[in-house]
């Protein structure tokens, strides 16, 4: 029993160190994060000007998810892209599953930050048609988890190629559509006043999807990681 605790503790330590490293790297290259923030701001501001500040709830919803999708894809690729040179070094330090776990946590935090930024900007510029914030946030949370975990594996695949950035969007968009379809439909229903019972089936499917993708990532990542 003592041993199991010790092993789990060591694993946690490795994962936390890897997450810390990711934050440190990003903190040192501030232009990357600032670039994403600026990207989000510019897109929303352009939508604000283009729609002339009058926007229907259904379009608000579609726009929200579209901008979230594009800013996630733009942001997600960078992390694995910059790992390429360090791959061999990691072989000595951590197993593939540690690295994946760290990346998943890091991407999730990153995605949540993105959602907060996006939500704040949306409410400021394009108004807030959401009347049930709790339900909306629950669905948003599940959708954001889906986006983050699918993009993690895809980013690790795309980073193996020379033109990873283009490949990232080609590979990620078809794969993400099921998650996006469920999340966008739910979110539209919530904006039009659906209750928890109306969307519970879809929410459950979304949870199952996330679980499947996480499980698959842990099975497949070791193969896509090692050269």
Partner 1 sequence: MKYLLNSKSWKWVSIGLLTYTVIGGFFLPVPRLPILNETIRILHFHVPMWFGMIIMFAISFVYAVKYLSTKELKYDLYAKEMVSVGIMFGMLGIFSGMVWANFTWGEPWSNDPKQNASAIALLMYFALLILRGSLNDDHQKARITSVYNIFAFAILIPLLFVLPRMTDSLHPGNGGNPGFNAYDLDSNLRIVFYPAVLGWTLLGLWIATLKIKLSMLQMILDDK
Intra-chain end-to-end CA distance of the chain, in Å: 36
Closest by alpha carbon to 177, among 217, 143, 219? 143
* Dihedral (Cα; 129, 131, 135, 139), 10-degree rounding: -10
Residue 88 in tokens: 């061999």
DSSP string covering 96-121, please? HHHHHHHHHHHHHHHHHHHHHHHHHH
Residue 182 in tokens: 């469920």
Q: Counting contacts by CB under 8 A, is residue 85 touching partner 1?
A: no
CA distances from 45 to 23, 57, 112, 121, 123 (A): 28, 17, 21, 9, 12
Q: Counting contacts by CB under 8 A, is residue 170 touching partner 1?
A: yes
The minimum distance between CB 150 and partner 1, in angstroms, equals: 9
One of 92, 162, 193, 197 touching partner 1 (CB under 8 A): 162
Q: Counting contacts by CB under 8 A, is residue 214 touching partner 1?
A: no
80 with 156: CB under 8 angstroms? yes
How many residues bind partner 1 (CB under 8 A)? The answer is 27
One of 10, 34, 177, 211 touching partner 1 (CB under 8 A): 177
118 with 68: CB under 8 angstroms? yes
Stretch that binds partner 1, among 16-24, 127-135, 167-175, 191-199 (CB under 8 A): 167-175
159 with 81: CB under 8 angstroms? yes
Q: Counting contacts by CB under 8 A, is residue 212 touching partner 1?
A: yes
The minimum distance between CB 62 and partner 1, in angstroms, equals: 15
120/219 with CB nearer partner 1: 219
Q: Counting contacts by CB under 8 A, is residue 168 touching partner 1?
A: no
The minimum distance between CB 78 and partner 1, in angstroms, equals: 19
The minimum distance between CB 72 and partner 1, in angstroms, equals: 17
Q: Counting contacts by CB under 8 A, is residue 209 touching partner 1?
A: yes
The minimum distance between CB 161 and partner 1, in angstroms, equals: 5
Q: Counting contacts by CB under 8 A, is residue 167 touching partner 1?
A: yes
DSSP-based three-state secondary structure for 29? coil
Q: Counting contacts by CB under 8 A, is residue 175 touching partner 1?
A: yes
Q: Counting contacts by CB under 8 A, is residue 197 touching partner 1?
A: no
Calculate Rg over the CA atoms of the chain.
19
Binding site for partner 1 (CB under 8 A): 153-154, 157, 160-163, 167, 170-171, 173-175, 177-178, 181-182, 201-202, 205, 209, 212, 216, 220, 223-224, 227
């Amino acid at each position: 029993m003592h041993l199991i605790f010790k092993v789990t503790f060591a694993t946690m330590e490795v994962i936390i160190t890897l997450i810390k490293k990711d934050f440190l790297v990003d903190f040192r290259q501030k232009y990357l994060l600032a670039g994403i923030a600026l990207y989000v701001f510019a897109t929303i501001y352009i939508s604000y000007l283009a729609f002339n500040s009058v926007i229907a709830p259904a379009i608000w919803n579609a726009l929200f998810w579209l901008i979230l999708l594009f800013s996630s894809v733009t942001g997600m690729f960078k992390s694995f892209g910059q790992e390429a040179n360090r791959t061999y070094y990691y072989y000595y330090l951590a197993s593939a599953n540690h690295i994946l776990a760290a990346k998943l946590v890091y991407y999730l935090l990153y995605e949540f930050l993105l959602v907060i930024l996006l939500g704040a900007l949306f409410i400021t510029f394009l108004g807030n048609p959401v009347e049930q914030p709790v339900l909306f946030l629950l669905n948003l949370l599940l959708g954001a988890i889906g986006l983050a975990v699918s993009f993690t594996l895809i980013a690790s695949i795309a980073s193996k190629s020379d033109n990873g950035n283009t490949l990232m969007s080609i590979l990620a968009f078809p794969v993400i559509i099921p998650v996006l379809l469920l999340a966008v439909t739910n979110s539209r229903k919530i904006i039009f006043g659906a209750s928890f019972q109306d969307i519970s089936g879809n929410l459950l499917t979304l949870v199952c999807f996330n679980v499947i993708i996480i499980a698959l990532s842990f099975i497949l990542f070791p193969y896509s990681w090692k050269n």
